[in-house]
Structure 1
Amino acid sequence: MIIKNFKKHYPLKKYGQNFLINKNIIQDIIKIINPKKTQILVEIGPGLAALTKPICQLLEKLIVIEIDLSLLDLLKKRSFYSKLVVFHQNVLNFNFIDLFCKKNQLIRIFGNLPYNISTSLIIFLLKQITVIQDMNFMLQKEVAERLIAIPGNKSYGRLSIICQYYCNVKILLNVIPEYFRPIPKVHSVFINLTPHHISPYFVYDIKILCYITKNAFQNRRKTVRNSLKKFFSERRLIQLDIDPNLRAENISIAQYCRLSNYLYKKLNNS
């Protein structure tokens, strides 16, 4: 079932635009998001309003962030435009903490994310996770697999660790390329990221965790004995119950947290 009133808009590659057009998938996504009138919802990249219109029908106001001025001009012609609070800007510069302070309420974020910024955007949002209730995104399947990957999986890396440190991540829908226009060369999935209510992990300083994982995965072919030797001796790794012969992708999130906390204490006691 395809949207018949698909508006003509020349998709811009620099914005990674692929518009969702399948009505059944759109309905499935609305059910998953399940917006409530009292909630603060923000849509990243409303595009041609495939999700915007039906969600507007369930809310008094919907906040949208769109960088493409031509798409905003199309939105202005739609009957539901009066329900929108529009920000014409790059979402990577948007201050969600400021929005939370104004609304005094946790924010729900959703959208069909542009492929070209999806990874950097998720990292950007994780830095503001304290004001976010949940996130529901359409993503390139490869990116989603990195988010949910576990140790030993080839997709497991820094993004897996940092994302799972903050959130519970679930893939909810698989979406074929033909459900978009233009048709992308990749498959997509719809995912949910919900911040942990009680985190299974703890670090004193998330920056140290990011720094250690960056060094480990920059040299992922090396064993941690070599990739992390400027931080930990082989003896220290063994004392921290980490096999020095393992590679970065074989170290669990809990183990990376242990390394991070040891280094934090070492730096703060020196």
Structure 2
Amino acid sequence: MSELKDLVIMKDGQAVTTSLEVAKIFEKRHDRVIRAIESKLTDPNFGVSEMFCESTYADASGKQNKMYYMNRDGFTFIAMGFTGRKADEFKLEYIEAFNKMESYIRKQEAVKQLPQTPEGQIRLLLESNVHMDERMTNAEEDIALLKNKSEIDSTQRFQLQKARNKRAVEVCGGKDSNFYKTKSRKVFMALAHDFKEYFEIPRYDALRKEDFNKAIEFVDGWYPSVLLKREIDEVNAQTNLDI
């Protein structure tokens, strides 16, 4: 994980990050991040000009190259296209970094504007605390939403795999059954197919965290089709199998 202080900086009194930092953290080519930003800037359907600010940086040879500063909205607009568990983790890092930098900026502004009278100072501090609580509540809700929308973690994948294996063995008739010994793959494939169809995902580990409990319930209550159930019963009823 990156240091939060490196993700978001203060520029002209605003919390921003750079296209360079986004490219590095999300392991994207910088020119492609630039292209993504400029495609939004040139599209008349998007009013995003205030989200980005063109600038330059010096590379190792001293050459000046294009880069962009972006505020929280600009980052969110670009990062929405980055998918996967690792990308979601970095998005959460950026949200936390933006929150911390914006909190710091607000505190600095509050100090500059403190009234000279003790009563005015107390009133302003109380108002600042109220606004800070509201902001932190909103930030916590944003983080919770992103966590729920991200893919399940390794512990949840393991739990889901155990539930899937347990249910498939039960449907086959147990590990000592004829069907499990000879054709269990059909049950695993049928369960996987129905699971992915129900949750509209391409693979098990693409399941969203918010659907994890529902997924466990689905697996525990899953039954094969009538035709597959009939085949299971027929195979298990056989006493002598040609294997």
Q: State TM-score, norm by structure 1.
A: 0.27
Richer in strand (by share): 1
Richer in helix (by share): 2
Structure showing greater radius of gyration is: 2
Q: State TM-score, norm by structure 2.
A: 0.29
